[in-house]
Chains A and B, each alone.
Chain A
Amino acid sequence: MSNTPELTLYTGQTPNGIKISIALSLLSLPYKTVPISLSTHEQKSPWFTSINPNGRIPALTDHSPPSSPKTPLHIMESGAILLYLSETYDPNHKISFPKGSTEYWETIQWVFWQNAGLGPMQGQSNHFIRYAGEDIKYAKERYVNETRRLYSILEKRLEVQEVEGGSGWVVGDHVSIADITIFGWAVFAEWAGVDLKEFERVRRWRERMEGVEGVEEGRNVPEPSGLRAIMGDERKMEEFAEGSKKWILEGMKRDAK
C-alpha cells in the first residue's frame, strides 16, 4: 500500500458521485476534486471519456496504484471504485471487512444489489416523475413501486441486522461501503417519490448515517446539494426539476445520436 496516495475524483452532486467522496472522507484520504459540469455535458467530452469511456460520473484516477505505481489507473463505476478503495486503502477495515470473511462477501452482495437494482430503478423513477416532460402513469407507477420494493428489502435486512445481530448497519457491526453506496441513493429517496416514513428502519438508518463522522463532509462534494433543503416539499421539488429538465432531455437526445 502506498503511504501517500495521489487520487483524483471526477464527480458531481449526484447519488453516485457522493458515495465516493463520502468513502474518501471516512478513510481520511487526501484527494483532488475535479467537478464535472453535467449541465453542459462535460462528462461526454473527449478528455473525460478517455478516463471513463461510459461518460458518466464518478470516475477515479489513482496516479500511483500499488503494483504499477508509474501507470495511472482510471476506474469507472462507483461500485468498482468503492471496492478498489477498500482493497487498496482500508487496511484497518474502517469501511470494509477482511477479505474472505462472511461480511466481506455480504458487503459485495449489497453493493451490487444497489448497483444493479436500487440505482437503476430509482433513476428511472426520477426520470418519469421529474424529467420526462410527459405524464406517463404506468411508467411512474412501475418504477416507483419497484424502488419501494427495493427499500422494503433493505427494511427487512436492517431488521435482521438489528434483531439478530444488534447492529444498525447493512453488514456486520460497523459502517461499510454497503451503507455508503445505499446512502448515496437513500438521501434522494423523496426526490424519486418514495417517502421513507413508509420504511421506519431505513429512515432511522439514514439518520444514523448522517451522524457518522465524515459523511457530512463527503456528501457536500463538489458542492452542497441544492435539493437537500427542499427534499419532501413537492412544490419546490417541481420547481427544481424544471431547472434541470432542459439539459437532461437535451443529454438524452445527444446520447441517441
Chain B
Amino acid sequence: MAPTNIKPITVYGHYLPFPNPPKVFILLKLLGIPYNHVMKVASDDPTLEDGIKHPNFTSINPNGRVPAIADPNNNNFHVWESGAILQYLAEIYDTDHKFSGKTVEERSMINQWIAFQISGQAPMSGQLIWFSVPQGHLLKYGEKTPDHVLLRFRNEVRRIYSVFNAHLEQQKAKGSDWIVGDRMTIADIAWAPWTRTMIYMPTYDPTFYDEFPAVKAWFAKMEAIPAVQETIAELTAPAPKN
C-alpha cells in the first residue's frame, strides 16, 4: 500500500469518453493515492486558458494532450503520455509491485502489452471512431468516408482484438485471467478504457466483442473492479441543466 502523508497528485484530464485519463485514475485509486482532477478543455485554441494547447498546459505536456500529472511529492514533477504515467506511478508508489513487474522479465512483458496498447489499440480505435462519427470528417470535408478508409481501420481494430483475444485464451489455459502473470497489472489498466470506448461509437454494435469471447470475459472482470466503477462514475459528465 502507498505510504501515508502523500500530497494529492494533480491529474490533468477530461470526462469520458476520453479514454486515456481513466487509466491514471484507476491506478491512483487502486494505490490509494489522493489526487486533484483538473479538467482541461479539448480545444486547439492556444489562447483558451483552460485549453490543452494553452502555453500554461503545453509547458506541462509539450504535446498538448491529456492526461498529464504533476507530483507535488517530487518537486511538482510533470509526466505525460498515459503509458509513462502508469510506469511512473507504479515505480514510485507501488513499492510492493502489486500492479507492476517484480523482475526485469516481468516488467518487459508488461511493457510490451502497454506498448501494443498505446501504439495499436489506441491509435487504430481512435481512427475508426473518428471516421465513424459523422461530424468527424463530414463537417470538414462534406462527403462521406470512403469504404476503403472505414474498412482499413475496422479490419485493423478487429485484427488487434483477435491478437489480444488469442493471448487472453493462452493466459486462461495457464490459469490466469490477466494479461501478464497471474494478477492484474498496469497492462490490464492500460487496455480497459479503450476497450470500453467502442461502446461510444455512433455505429456501436453490441455484438462487437462476441467474436472475442476471452476479451469479453476479461473486460467484464475489469469493469467489476470497484476502482474501475468509481472511475467511470467520476468521469461521467453531469447531464446538462435545462
Q: Which residues of B contact A120 (CB under 8 A)?
A: 119-120, 123-124
Number of A-B contacts (CB under 8 A): 124
| Residue pair B141, A76 in contact (C-beta under 8 Å) | no
Also in contact, A84 and B104, with CB within 8 A (given A54-B163, A105-B77, A136-B149) = yes
Q: Which residues of B contact A55 (CB under 8 A)?
A: 163
Binary B-proximity of A66-97 (CB < 8 A = 1, otherwise 0) = 11100101011111110110011000000000
The A-contacting residues of B in range 142-192, CB under 8 angstroms, are 143, 146, 148-149, 151-152, 155-156, 158-159, 163, 166-167
Interface residues on chain B, number (Cβ under 8 Å) = 46
| Residue pair A102, B77 in contact (C-beta under 8 Å) | yes
| Residue pair A68, B119 in contact (C-beta under 8 Å) | no
Q: Which of B62, B80, B103, B115 contacts A80 (CB 8 A)?
A: B115
B63 at the interface (CB under 8 A from A): yes
B208 at the interface (CB under 8 A from A): no
| Residue pair A124, B127 in contact (C-beta under 8 Å) | yes
Q: Which residues of A contact B56 (CB under 8 A)?
A: none
Chain A contact residues: helix, strand, loop or mixed: helix
| Residue pair B88, A105 in contact (C-beta under 8 Å) | yes
B-binding segment of A24-32, A107-115, A195-203, A232-240 = A107-115
| Residue pair A75, B83 in contact (C-beta under 8 Å) | no
Q: Which residues of B contact A47 (CB under 8 A)?
A: none
Nearest opposing residue in chain B for A115, CB measure: B119
Also in contact, A77 and B111, with CB within 8 A (given A68-B103, A255-B156) = yes
CA distance A13 to B25 in the complex (A): 39
Using CB atoms and an 8 Å cutoff, list the residues of chain B in contact with chain A.
62-64, 77, 79-81, 83-84, 87-88, 91, 103-105, 107-109, 111-112, 114-116, 118-120, 122-124, 127, 137, 140-141, 143, 146, 148-149, 151-152, 155-156, 158-159, 163, 166-167
Please give me the 9 A-B residue pairs with the lowest Cβ-Cβ distance, nearest first.
A77-B115, A120-B123, A80-B112, A80-B111, A116-B118, A79-B115, A256-B155, A112-B81, A115-B119
